[in-house]
Amino acid sequence: MIKNLKSFIIKGINNLESQIMKINRNVGQLAAISFLIFFITFQVSSVWAQSDADTIRPKRVYVFDIKEEISPPAWHLVRHSMKAARDTAADIILIHMNTYGGELGTADSNRTAILQSKIPVWVFIDNNAASAGALISIAADSIYMRPGANIGAATVVNQTGEALPDKYQSYMRSMMRSTAEASGRDPLIAEGMVDPRIMVPGISDSGAVITFTASEAIKYGFCEGTANTIPEVLTAAGITDYQIIRYELSVSDRIIRFLVNPLIPGLLIMVIIGGIYFELQTPGIGFPIAASILAALLYFAPLYVEGLAANWEIIIFAVGVVLIAVEIFALPGFGVAGISGIVLVVAGLVLSMLDNTGFDFSLLHIDDITVALFTVIIATFLALVGSIYFSKKLFTSSAFGGLALSSTQEKSDGFTSAQSSYTSMINREGVARTVLRPAGKVLIDDEIFDATAESGFIDKDSPVRVTRYINAQLFVRKIS
């Protein structure tokens, strides 16, 4: 009896433990389910709250203008404006455009920045988007045009308006085609904006370069609509609640844009070279070298800020200047150091104008390299020619007569020349007081004179003979 009672109690205890464990499992599952439901609810409510906030917050539309030639200043504007748009969490970037085009390399940089932008980019063509302007516009997500505006005519031309050889047109055709493909527009039409040989049925059957009016651009998918103002653009896009933020140029932006203008670097190079030349023509350190240093700072500083001039490119230029100075002041003649210095100076100036990454030049177009090289070479040539010309005018002009002696010392006034006394030293013998390489000092009759070796170097204490006297300088030859 007791044994059965004991078994009954043990069985009851085991059943109770089993029920308690089952309850614990159910409670744990219930807690896990409750936590999961709470987490999902929290996430959904956060999304709803964010969605409501986005719905309530006006659309931020960041606006900046491209109403100039497509050149380095325009690239400066686009790059800084798009960065400012990202910093202000803009919803749309709107470019207010009116341009006849410009440099192909700069246009390529602009269209690449637009294609890679995570913020939608719209273009409002106020009047013209020709050539490089058409390329930039086609890269945008949406295009709006003022009635009467035009887009197209993207043939690559020179300064006189003549079409460049086909290799240039081929590159432009490729860029227009790939840009249109990336933005969902007809690549054949985009290519026809460059080359009149491209036949587009119903659009260009006569062998003419394609240029669209606003209505034609809408018809063929190169424009989303027409508008007269930016608010009308936003209304046409169905945006009624918006905040327009405009990019304003700072003082530093204006200075940098001025200094990177294609004409200014050439002028600064002329001042750099001209200053060095004038400094070599005058004793001591004076205004010419100060002007040259200031011009170098103004040349490299904006290019460095813009990310074009790297540290090593500026160092190359500085080393070149040092080598030229060493060649002129320390070494005889003009040899390896001088030539190396000229090459490094030119290389530093050219490389600083190029948008290369380190030693990688694969992304550069040949046109960019050619323009930079010719800018430096032409500016250097003009600086040297101008320096030689103005140096003669400067010292002979009555306006700057104080820079040079204009009076003459007449023999009748008691002035004599050392020419006769030095001429009498021809064939006199002495010893080299210093090493002549080729200039140095010689000792003749217990007097020290400046002298130059006729050929080669002459070691110190070597016997020498005076061979001639020219322009206050003795010339000597080593006695075998």
Q: Which of residues 110 and 289 earns the better pLDDT score?
A: 110
CB 112 within 8 A of CB 79: no
Token code pair at residue 54 = 């986005």
Q: Which of 89-98, 303-312, 390-399 has the highest mean pLDDT?
A: 89-98
Q: Which of residues 160 and 117 earns the better pLDDT score?
A: 117
Residue ending a domain, among 370, 399, 428, is: 399
Q: Report pLDDT digits (tens) over 240-259.
A: 999 999 988 778 777 877 88
pLDDT given for residue 39 in this prediction = 57
Same domain assignment for residues 90 and 134:
yes
Q: Has residue 404 been placed in a domain?
A: no
Q: Has residue 407 been placed in a domain?
A: no
Kindly state the average pLDDT of the residues 261-281: 80
Range of the domain at 149: 57-248
The string of DSSP codes covering 191-260 is HHTT-TT--BTTTB-SS---EEEHHHHHHTTS-SEE-SSHHHHHHHTT--SEEEEE----HHHHHHHHHT
Q: Report pLDDT digits (tens) over 111-153.
A: 999 999 999 999 999 999 999 999 999 999 999 999 999 999 9
**Run of H or E residues at 360:** none
Q: Alpha carbon of 192 to those of 129, 145, 199, 222, 273: distances in Å? A: 15, 20, 7, 13, 46
Same domain assignment for residues 49 and 63:
no
Same domain assignment for residues 80 and 155:
yes
pLDDT given for residue 140 in this prediction = 96
Q: Alpha carbon of 375 to those of 69, 70, 371: distances in Å? A: 19, 18, 6
Over 60: is that where the pLDDT of 328 sits? Answer: yes
Q: Which of residues 376 and 403 earns the better pLDDT score?
A: 376
Q: Which of 171-175, 251-255, 392-396 has the highest mean pLDDT?
A: 171-175
pLDDT given for residue 40 in this prediction = 62
Same domain assignment for residues 216 and 83:
yes
Same domain assignment for residues 125 and 213:
yes
Same domain assignment for residues 114 and 178:
yes
**Run of H or E residues at 301:** helix 287-305
Q: Which of residues 101 and 160 earns the better pLDDT score?
A: 101
Same domain assignment for residues 382 and 444:
no
pLDDT given for residue 51 in this prediction = 47
- Count: domains in the chain: 4
DSSP state at residue 410: -
Query: Which amino acid belongs to residue 71?
Result: S
Coil/strand/helix, residue 64: strand
Residue 442, beta-bridge partner list: 432, 449
Q: Report pLDDT digits (tens) over 16-37.
A: 556 556 555 555 555 555 555 6
pLDDT given for residue 30 in this prediction = 53
Q: What is the pLDDT confidence band of residue 473, given thresholds at 50, 70 and 90?
A: confident
Q: Has residue 405 been placed in a domain?
A: no
Q: What is the pLDDT confidence band of residue 408, given thresholds at 50, 70 and 90?
A: low
Query: Mean pLDDT, the chain, as a whole number?
Result: 80
Over 90: is that where the pLDDT of 437 sits? Answer: no
Kindly state the average pLDDT of the residues 154-170: 81
Token code pair at residue 300 = 């490299």
pLDDT given for residue 339 in this prediction = 83
Same domain assignment for residues 263 and 223:
no
Token code pair at residue 392 = 């003669």
Q: Which of 84-88, 376-380, 386-390, 398-402 has the highest mean pLDDT?
A: 84-88
Class of residue 477 by CB neighbours under 10 A (exposed 0-12, middle 13-18, buried 19+): middle
Same domain assignment for residues 83 and 201:
yes
Q: Say what angle helices 311-329 and 263-281 make with each other, to 10 degrees.
A: 20
Question: Of 424, 429, 457, which Cα lies nearest the Cα of 444?
Answer: 429
Q: Which of 347-351, 407-411, 470-474 has the highest mean pLDDT?
A: 347-351
- Report how far residue 223's alpha carbon sits from residue 212's, in angstroms, rounded to the nearest whole number: 10
pLDDT given for residue 48 in this prediction = 47
Name residue, tokens 């500016």: 379
Q: Has residue 1 been placed in a domain?
A: no
Name the pTM for this structure.
0.62
Same domain assignment for residues 352 and 289:
yes
Residue ending a domain, among 229, 248, 267, is: 248
Residue 245, beta-bridge partner list: 62
Over 90: is that where the pLDDT of 230 sits? Answer: yes
DSSP state at residue 131: T
Over 70: is that where the pLDDT of 278 sits? Answer: yes
Q: Has residue 73 been placed in a domain?
A: yes
Question: Of 112, 151, 126, which Cα lies nearest the Cα of 66?
Answer: 126
Q: Which of 1-15, 200-214, 275-289 has the highest mean pLDDT?
A: 200-214
CB 338 within 8 A of CB 328: yes
Give the CATH number of the domain where residue 209 resides. 3.90.226.10
Give the CATH number of the domain where residue 441 resides. 2.40.50.140
Kindly state the average pLDDT of the residues 430-438: 85
Q: Has residue 3 been placed in a domain?
A: no
Token code pair at residue 16 = 């109770």
Residue ending a domain, among 55, 71, 89, is: 55
Same domain assignment for residues 100 and 143:
yes
pLDDT given for residue 125 in this prediction = 96
Same domain assignment for residues 274 and 369:
yes
